Amino acid sequence: MTVSCFIEYKINPFKLAQFTRYANNWGQIIPRCGGELVGYFLPHEGTNYQAFGIISFDSLASYEAYRIRLKQDAQAIENFEFAKEEQFILQEMRRFLTPVESTYWCKAKAFNKESV
């Protein structure tokens, strides 16, 4: 069973570059510590202060083991400190979700102009 951690961030919209750096850093750290990074998502249109991250795990136990490794990872500790010093994250909320397996990671099919 897959469990996904859906993280909702309220960010300072004037510090988008700092949040982007923070997210890019997690792109190396999360897989190394045992998480499957679905991705980080930045504001594009509409609300300019919300960003999201999605990380998947085989189970809640896998998530707990990941959290232990994360707290011991030098680059993760550095990234947490960067966020604290720069204060670009104003609020962080986590939800744990289980995907409908048949809908998880469905890729787009080739577009055929004749079928439109």
43 neighbors 83 (Cβ within 8 angstroms): no
pLDDT range class, residue 114, cuts 50, 70, 90: low
Mean pLDDT of 55-78: 96
Measure CA of the first residue to CA of the last residue in the chain; give whole Å.
Answer: 37
Triad 42, 87, 96: Cα angle to 5°: 55
pTM of the full predicted structure?
0.86
Domain containing 44 — which CATH number? 3.30.70.100
Domain range enclosing 87: 3-115
pLDDT range class, residue 113, cuts 50, 70, 90: low
Enter the DSSP assignment of 89.
E
Mean pLDDT of 76-87: 98
Closest CA relative to residue 63, chosen from 99, 23, 27, 34: 34
Q: Is the pLDDT of residue 93 over 60?
A: yes
Domains of the chain: total: 1
What was the pLDDT predicted at 100? 87
